Copies of this chain bind each other. A is one copy, B any other.
Amino acid sequence: MHESFVSNPSFFKLDATLKKIKNYWQKNFDARGLAITVDQWLVIENLYKHKRITHNELAKLTSKDITTVSRIVELLVRKELVERQGSTDDRRKVFLQLTPEGVSKYKEVRPLVLEMRETGWKNLTEGDFQEMTRILDVIYSNIP
């Protein structure tokens, strides 16, 4: 273990980069009047891909606390982008899915998201992407 590993603030650069990305995304969302947050987008994206899932499943997919998911869903329900359906099998469970407006919102936002992802990865190669993914995965698995 070399000095740079321990002297360098390990999470600081991650934090700074992530904040810059989220800020950039949010400003673009706002500039286009999309009326959603970046985390709300993440939820919408997952509901589009997985159709009909519970809060718990959504929490795992988004790496969010279930309480946070619960609150984001509440905001999206108020915006009429998501609807809740109580399960009949297990009355504790609530299934979530996009409303038609939610699906429209997904399709409206998606091209901008692709564009912003390209902007972030400019000047980087496919190999860089894989390296980063690999390293983040190792860090993730290192932590108990």
| A positions within 8 Å CB-CB of B | 1-2, 4-6, 8-22, 24-25, 38, 42, 45, 62-63, 114, 116-124, 126, 128-129, 131-133, 135-140, 142-144
Contact = CB atoms under 8 A, between A and B. Distances in A.
B14 A140 contact: no
A55 B62 CA distance: 34
B24 A121 contact: no
Contact of A5 (B12, B63, B126, B138): B126
A17 B120 contact: no
- Main secondary structure on A side of the interface with B: helix
A94 to B, nearest CB: 24
B126 A4 contact: yes
A72 to B, nearest CB: 14
Contact of A139 (B11, B17, B22, B144): B17
Contact of A140 (B4, B20, B144): B20
